[in-house]
């Protein structure tokens, strides 16, 4: 006797087409000490003032936070000279990426991003029922002409990570403006500037000026990187007033917790701590680039707090071999095969101990041909 299958709730087909985001490894089984260089976290950690503010918030755990993150928006506004009313805060910039896709994409629309753009972009686009479209990069860098060539009447959202993760490359502001000028007025350009604070190039800008002067540009920022608050998940978007109004209609109530708000205010006001983080990164990013290149490992020029390393295709020296070899020695890097880069690993700039240790380990790996 056959038993008919009972009906059950089914998710939309486009949801099941999404490849789940897989974070970088955090540890290695059997090793007590591990240098986690897989998630682009700050080796300096958060400002002591942020830690103190976080602890002080413990007395208010039973109370809801202020719903609009007003104190944090005002602190961001003071720091960057922005109108707090044009800022929306979220549970990490990932939260805001999803909200922007949800608000501005419909089934049949397209969301565009560069070839090696952040993996969250296609997830958010598909979840909104739209179609993700990629544009080829040139020398691991977003290509404005390639992006514009992919624009159609269905393109309603363009994500540009600048600097880009995982490549570490960037577009000068002149190229960002050229990209914007080539987009239709009803296409939203999202400038994801998660790593902006690390960039020391004179031709770079995060995009605030472009947002201020136009109705179809927004800028995303995060507290997870240079501010060392990844655990608290704080992101923010600077946007035109109509976009702010739309986002506030759909974001979750109390979407940023009170401890995050308090720590975020303290973190952004500690300019000395941020300056120290920039100085540390500038020193060690260059040192790591030069030292690792000596081993014959390809190093993509980066302006972020990480490097993309390309390993040769020879047996025993592939990226998988390197990942296995380095993990056994307590150095956890980020495999980026999901980005279409199976021959590479991403390395976060770490503490001095971690930086010197990873260089020594990479030298041993290349000398040994991957053998333990």
25-39, 63-77, 247-261, 262-276: segment of lowest average pLDDT: 25-39
> Is pLDDT at 1 greater than 60 in this prediction?
no
Number of neighbours of residue 7 by Cβ within 10 angstroms: 6
Q: Which two tokens stand for residue 356?
A: 């010197």
Is the dihedral angle over the CA atoms 244, 250, 254, 255 positive or is it negative?
Answer: negative
- Closest by Cα among 71, 90, 87, 83 to 269: 71
Mean pLDDT, range 161-182, rounded to an integer: 98
Would you list the DSSP string of 159-187?
Answer: EEESS-TTT-----HHHHHHHHHTS-TTS
pLDDT, tens digit, 9 for 90 and up, residues 90-138: 999 999 999 999 999 999 999 999 999 999 999 999 999 999 999 999 9
Strand partners, 335: 345
* Domains of the chain by start residue, with CATH: 25-45+272-368 (3.90.1150.10), 48-270 (3.40.640.10)
Identify the pLDDT of residue 372.
56
Q: Is the pLDDT of residue 155 over 80?
A: yes
Alpha helices of the chain — where are they, by DSSP H?
Answer: 13-16, 48-56, 70-80, 93-104, 120-127, 144-149, 173-181, 208-213, 241-250, 258-269, 271-293, 319-328, 352-368
Flag whether pLDDT at 50 surpasses 80.
yes
Average pLDDT for 340-352 = 98
pTM of the model as a whole: 0.94
Q: How confident is the model at residue 196 (pLDDT cuts 50, 70, 90)?
A: very high
Contacts of 292 (CB under 8 A, 6+ apart): 299, 307, 309, 347, 359, 362
Answer left, alpha or beta for residue 139, where phi above 0 means left and psi between -120 and 50 means alpha.
left
The stretch 7-32 carries a mean pLDDT of: 80
Residue 331's φ and ψ, nearest 5 degrees, are: -115, 110
Q: What is the pLDDT of residue 370?
A: 54
Model pLDDT for residues 254-313, shown as the tens digit of each residue: 999 999 999 999 999 999 999 999 999 999 999 999 999 999 999 999 999 999 999 998
**pLDDT digits 0-9 by tens, 319-345:** 999 999 999 999 999 999 999 999 999
Mean per-residue pLDDT, 340-363:
98
Statement: residue 371 has pLDDT above 70: no
Please report the pLDDT score of residue 230 as a whole number.
Answer: 97
315 pLDDT more than 90 = no
List, for residues 203-262, the tens digit of each pLDDT value.
Answer: 999 999 999 999 999 999 999 999 999 999 999 999 999 999 999 999 999 999 999 999
Q: What pLDDT is stored for residue 15 in this prediction?
A: 85
Closest CA to 265 of 98, 71, 30: 71
- pLDDT number for residue 267: 98
Task: Please tell me which residue, 24 or 210, carries the higher pLDDT value.
Answer: 210
């Amino acid at each position: 006797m056959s038993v008919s299958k009972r009906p059950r709730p089914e998710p939309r087909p486009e949801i099941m087409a999404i490849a789940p985001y897989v974070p970088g490894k955090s540890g290695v089984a059997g090793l007590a000490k591990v240098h986690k260089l897989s998630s682009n976290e700050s080796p300096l950690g958060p400002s002591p003032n942020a830690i103190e503010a976080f602890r002080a918030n413990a007395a208010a755990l039973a109370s809801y936070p202020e719903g609009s993150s007003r104190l944090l928006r005002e602190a961001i506004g003071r720091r960057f000279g922005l109108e707090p009313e044009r800022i929306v805060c979220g549970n990490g910039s990932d939260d805001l990426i999803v909200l922007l896709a949800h608000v501005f994409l419909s089934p049949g629309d397209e969301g565009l991003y560069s070839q090696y753009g952040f993996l969250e972009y296609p997830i958010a686009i598909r979840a909104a029922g739209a179609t993700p479209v990629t544009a080829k990069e040139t020398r691991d860098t977003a290509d404005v002409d390639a992006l514009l060539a992919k624009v159609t009447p269905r393109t309603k959202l363009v994500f540009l990570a600048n600097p880009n993760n995982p490549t570490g490359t960037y577009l000068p502001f002149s190229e960002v403006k050229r990209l914007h000028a080539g987009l239709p007025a009803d296409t939203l350009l999202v400038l994801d500037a998660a790593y902006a604070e690390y960039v020391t190039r004179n031709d770079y800008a995060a995009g605030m000026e472009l947002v201020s002067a136009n109705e179809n540009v927004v800028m995303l920022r995060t507290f997870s990187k240079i501010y060392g608050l990844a655990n608290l998940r704080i992101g923010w978007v600077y946007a035109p007033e109509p976009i702010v109004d739309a986002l506030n209609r759909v974001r979750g109530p109390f979407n940023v917790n009170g401890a995050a708000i308090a720590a975020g205010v303290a973190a952004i006001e500690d300019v000395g701590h941020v300056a120290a983080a920039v100085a540390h990164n500038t020193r060690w990013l260059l040192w790591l680039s030069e030292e690792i290149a000596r081993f014959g490992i390809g190093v993509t020029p980066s302006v972020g707090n990480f490097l993309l390393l390309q390993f040769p295709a020879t047996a025993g020296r592939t990226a998988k071999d390197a990942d296995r070899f380095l993990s056994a020695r307590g150095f956890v890097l980020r495999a980026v095969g999901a980005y279409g880069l199976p021959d590479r690993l991403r390395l976060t700039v770490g503490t001095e101990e971690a930086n010197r240790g990873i260089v020594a380990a990479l030298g041993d790996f290349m000398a040994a041909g991957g053998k333990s």
